[in-house]
Chain A
Amino acid sequence: MKENGQDISQALSITPPDVTEKKLKVRKPYLGLFFLGVFFFMVIFADLISPYDPFASDLSKGTLPPSWQEGGTAAHLLGTDFLGRDQLSRIIHGSRMSLVVSVGCILIYGTIGIILGLISGFFGGKTDMFIMRLSDIWQSVPGLIVILLLVSVIGASAKTVIISIGITGWPQFARVVRGECLSLKERDFVRLARVAGCSNFQIMASHIFPNIINTLLVLSTIQIAGIIVLSATLSFLGLGTQPPSCDWGLMLAEGRQYITYAWWLVTFPGIAIAITVIGFNLTGDWLREILDPKQMLR
């Protein structure tokens, strides 16, 4: 059979897509999942695994270097900050803040984006025009400036960070959802639903929405990475979470003044941010590949 098939394809001068070879090219998820695993492990077991209370300061042990460096002690693996708080404990607890902020933002702008995107794509015409132009305007203003404005007006805290990032980020979601919705609403199963007597809302909720969950999952995973960086930026600028709470961005900001002689104060939070972001990005890419069968053969 196989030889036969080759003869035919040669005769037609078509090279059949070599599925097995392409399949091997799908990225292995292990690294990304490992990073995420570490991240979620820290989030879930923060209280159990952190050696010290992240808020307990001991000025006599201020700015101790990591244990492997001269002057460091085995008691503080990654050293301490200028108030003598244990770095490792603070980084472990900081993971929780990152998760809360990023999930909170995704929930807010996901909800706004999905609803507006569905309405826009499904009804089309003037509604679509209005929502899309609105999102154009929204996107034409640099996000960071809007966020800075909101934060300085409402007052800096984790909650404001979530809300302000949440309401600036929806256009991206809305666009993706609208695009998917545009092609889905022309599909025959939507017509079948109409023939069965479904209303517009029922069609959107039970026929179109389940079909875009895959895309949303991928988009959210990749967006989370961006949000973590953004919230760290805000904390660094002093407009995000406020001391003494544990936040990686905040730790960076606090360590910045001591960067010349206490390199560990900025390095370790930075590494934590980088690893988490890479983890989310790799996992997002991998999800996109496995959830979209069309990508497999590309």
Chain B
Amino acid sequence: MASQKDILLQVKDLKTSFFTKKGVIKAVDGVSFTVKKGEVIGLVGESGSGKSVTSLSIMRLVPQPAGKIVSGEILFKNENLLNKSESEMRELRGNKLAMILQDPMVSLNQLLTVGYQIGETFKYHGKADGSLLTKCINILKKVKVPSPETRVNNFPFQFSGGMCQRVLIGTGIANNPELLIADEPTTALDVTIQAQILKLMKDLQKEINASIILITHDLATIAQICSKVYVMYGGRIVEKAPVKDFYHDPQHPYSEGLIKSVPVLGKRVKRLYAIEGQPPNLINPPPGCRFEPRCSKAKKVCSQKYPPEVELKKDHQVSCWLYS
């Protein structure tokens, strides 16, 4: 276990639900994990597994009024974010806690210049002294937008998708955050731009020494910059593993399935592997393991009780009845 000092973020048994007319959707159902200072962790899982809701819960931006954080603790530098007032949260957002959103083309306001939108992060945190423009230009420089002096006055529609994503990253890192949550920062981009963006993020992470939570369903992305992987399924984390172990020796049947379903270049297979079935309905989830209906190794106990978390090796935990 890392010493208390190194830990930046600690999420304990977080439960976030959406209260809809059809019933309560338990989008995040008891998620616990820690992020150390300067660490890059990856949160993987298929659509609807609760990745984004987890990150929104950390920012306290779960869509109101349907969504609500039911219980749990989110300790950021040993302070529980769930006890903070809205204005205290606003202080933190964009300052110590930053987030990069998914879709660069729609995340920027088309009617405001790029510079204005970067400048906002400074303005709302009282860091807007006379040099606001220079600051914005510096940010654009940092994220490697060419000729930032002229680009700062451009509107988002004059930027390509990759450039918009750079601007978004720029707004994220503007105030040197301690924790940066990147919610699928590369999904909307093509592969070459993806590589550039990832490299950029990695460089910036070293420069400002931030911790990053990278949310994605792209395993290649994780392999490139993360040191630890948390696999989510049905609102819970099913496996926590160092990145190498995850790729070479995945323990949970779901992780195994994920790795297997990545096509390998140069290897000819008749049919690409896919995990059968659909992700579970989170309105009335089965009492047992969420993955049990799709699992090829399911046992009787799997459908009755949720498996406890077992530590297999140092830093490698799995929730599966195969191991306990």
Which A residues contact B (CB, under 8 angstroms)?
124-125, 187-189, 191-199, 202, 206-207, 210-211
Contact = CB atoms under 8 A, between A and B. Distances in A.
B290 interface: no
Nearest to A197: B94
Contacts of B59: 195
A189 B109 contact: yes
The 7 A-B residue pairs with the shortest CB-CB distance in the complex, in nearest-first order: A197-B94, A196-B94, A189-B109, A188-B107, A197-B93, A195-B99, A197-B124
A198 B112 CA distance: 15
Nearest to A193: B120
Contact of A195 (B65, B94, B108, B110): B94
B101 A195 contact: yes
B75 to A, nearest CB: 20
Q: How large is the interface on B (under 10, 10 to 19, 20 to 34, 35 or more residues)?
A: 20 to 34
Q: Which of B109, B112, B171 has the most CB of A within 10 A?
A: B109
B106 interface: yes
A195 B98 contact: yes
Nearest to A208: B109
B107 A192 contact: yes
B121 A196 contact: yes
B168 interface: yes
Contact of A198 (B91, B102, B120): B120
Nearest to A189: B109
Contacts, number: 68
Chain A interface SS verdict (over half): helix
Interface centre among A187, A193, A196, A199 (most CB of B within 10 A): A196
Contacts of B208: none
A211 B120 contact: no
Given A189-B109, A206-B112, A197 B121 contact: yes
Given A194-B61, A197-B125, A210 B112 contact: yes
Interface string B85-128: 00100111111001101110011111110000100110011000
A154 B102 CA distance: 57
Given A197-B121, A197-B125, A198-B124, A192 B93 contact: no
12 contacts: A188-B107, A189-B110, A195-B59, A195-B94, A195-B98, A195-B99, A195-B171, A196-B124, A197-B90, A198-B90, A199-B87, A210-B112
A210 B111 contact: yes
A187 B106 contact: yes
A189 B111 CA distance: 11
B93 A196 contact: yes
A197 B107 contact: no
A125 B125 CA distance: 29
A192 B65 contact: no
A122 B70 CA distance: 24
A124 B98 contact: no
Nearest to B91: A197
A124 B59 CA distance: 21
Nearest to B92: A197
A211 to B, nearest CB: 6
Contacts of B99: 195
A169 to B, nearest CB: 27
A192 B112 contact: no
Nearest to A194: B61
Nearest to A124: B65
B90 A192 contact: no
B111 A188 contact: no
Given A195-B93, A197-B94, A189 B108 contact: yes
